[in-house]
Amino acid sequence: MRPGGWEPGTTVGQYLLMTPLAQGGMAEIWLARQAGPKGFERLVVIKRMIGALESDPEHVDMFLTEAKLAAQLNHPHVIQTFDLGEEHDSLYLVMEYLDGENLSVVRRLGVKHQLPLMDQHAVRLLAWAADGLHYAHTRVGLDGRPQGLVHRDISPQNLFATFDGGLKVLDFGVAKLASQHTESGKLKGKLGYMSPEQARGENVDARSDVFSLGIVLFEQLTRTRLFPGVEDTQVLGAIAHGTLPWPTERRPDLDKDLEQIIVKAMASRRDERFQSARELQDALEGWLQRKGFVVTTSDIADYLRALFARRIHERRQLIEAAMRAEMTPSSVDKVHRLARTATTSAVTSSRAEAVTPGGTKRSMVPLVLGFVLGMTAIAAATVLLLARRDPEPPKPVPVVMKPAVVAAPVVIVGSSPKGAAIRVDGRSVGDAPVTLEGLGPGDHLVEATLEGYQPSSRTVPLPKPGERLMVQLALAPVVVEPPPPPSKPVAARPRPMGKLTLKTTPWASVFLAGKKLGDTPLVESPIPAGTHVLKLSNPDTGLESSIEVEIKPGQTTTKKLKF
């Protein structure tokens, strides 16, 4: 019997426990089912504080802080928390069940199957992540005051892509409020994704999460880890000292504008980064708009369903079997025993959990069920078969040896945008996504065409027998050439002017587009109307800074600054 009476088949509050999924340093994760009147039911995930820490006031306070924070967050791109409860002196959180995979798995499996996440898809997912983070950063408390929340553990493992084409930010377990201060010598979060100030143990703000999100963006677009094969402690030192690679060093064909967005997000100095997650989101959305990419949830869902087709099918079948399991005392014992073995195997074979210096081991990804759910359902199905077996031994049946059947390879062809006409070796096979079986050995030419887009093609080698190969063809929009300029030159209209009055303490030299406007105080200095970035410098104090000013036509803009 588990401490506190937590067993598969028992009820906690209004939730029926199905099986434990994983256990970290602070909590264990359970899959549960919530049932209601008139056939209402849904799967949920329960995060329970482990017994060893239930008597530790510091860890209890952390758990309650997470619960209070999560309960106030309600956003399409943030995981939703439904309930906080206590059962047999055990605190637990009830969260929504998500069907999908985290971005670490998406990146690794995409590279493995030669179907990496396309740039526009990665940008769309990270823009959604920035949207969810900005919501959390700017959330106000019940008293109407800004909370100044910082996640502190942004990583691919905590960004979850759902199979319906969405994105959720997970795990606010080490989040920090503006009213709290980081303890000296204690780092909280994954070492490979910390900001420089977080790595140095300094107080952090929302810009720390922006840096971490920049690392995720780097890895998704370059399709490599920031420092592959390097120990996390060494990565921590490189980040703390600002020794970071340029994205095009890993992927020379990466769009230069995207590289600049990554570099700015990962700037070592906080004041040189995007100053909020909203600014990063705007930069990513702007890139999509300039490139003419319209990426919808359906596009993301199509890609994920093609990449994880077999896993989705098997998972749904097995969950259905688990939902039908009869939770009798004998079946519970068997389900628990088999599920425990499967959970141990799955956790052992996974990548190592993040361990922080002076801290504790943290849970991996609590909501990624995958293999564990599959094995749990198999255990449930086994219980049903055992419960219904014939008490009499079956009569021997003669065994007829049959030749082994070699499964034919399967090729799934998708397109972005979807719906393109697909031809294989010059033969039309339908509109994407399309599943092809029975192709002969050798290379095959796959072509995609869609009105309004440039054709795309790829030579695909036949996969090995029994394997599945996923091919995604991206079609670029047809660029319409602009009309030729008029033969007669048109005289340019004079640009409207405004004036700027700028006072600073201490004094500073003011430059616009490399041209010096003068030293402060500037009084009604004429400047073209529009938004400008001014650079300020003071050789006496070493001051180097930039400000943005908006000059209105025919008006004087006045600013006072103190550095």
| Gap between the Cα atoms of 99 and 351, Å rounded | 20
Peptide bond into 394 cis (omega under 30): no
Select from 8, 102, 6 the least CA-distant residue to 48: 6
Alpha-carbon gap, residue 264 to 231, rounded angstroms: 25
Distances (CA, A) of 200 to 10, 104, 174, 183, 230: 46, 25, 17, 12, 19
Q: Which of 238, 239, 237, 260 is nearest to 248 (CA)?
A: 260
Strand 468-474 and strand 410-416: the pairing is parallel
For residue 86, what are its two tokens? 């206590």
Measured CA to CA, the distance from residue 54 to residue 220 in angstroms comes to 38
Query: Is residue 448 within a helix (H) or strand (E), and if so which, with residue range?
Result: strand 443-449
Residue 441's alpha-carbon distances to 45, 85, 438, 444, 462, in angstroms, are 46, 59, 9, 9, 6
Strand partners, 549: 532
Show the DSSP H helices in 223-276 as ranges. Answer: 232-240, 247-250, 256-265
Q: Is 166 helix (H, G, I), strand (E, B) or coil?
A: coil
Cα-only R_g, the chain: 29
Q: How far apart are CA 500 and CA 289, in angstroms?
A: 33
CA-CA distance, 205 to 102, in Å (whole number)?
Answer: 25
* Angle at alpha carbon of residue 243, lines to 237 and 245, rounded to 5°: 125
DSSP assignment letter at 92: E
SS (H, E, C) 347-360: HHHCCCCCECCCCC
Nearest to 563 by CA among 513, 516, 520, 530: 520
92: which strand partners?
Answer: 48, 85
Residues tagged active-site: 153
Three-state secondary structure call for residue 29 = strand
Classify the C-alpha dihedral 363-199-101-110 as positive or negative: negative
For residue 537, CA distances in Å to 269, 523, 540 come to 17, 18, 9
Residue pair 122/212 in contact (Cβ under 8 Å)? The answer is no
Task: Please compute, for residue 19, the number of CA atoms within 13 A of its CA located in the half-sphere on the CB side.
Answer: 31
Q: Which amino acid is at 471?
A: V
Identify which of 391, 455, 387 has the alpha carbon closest to the alpha carbon of residue 420. 455
Q: Provide the 10 A C-beta neighbour count for residue 513.
A: 9
Structure tokens at 353: 């959990």
Residues 443 and 425: beta-carbon distance below 8 Å: no
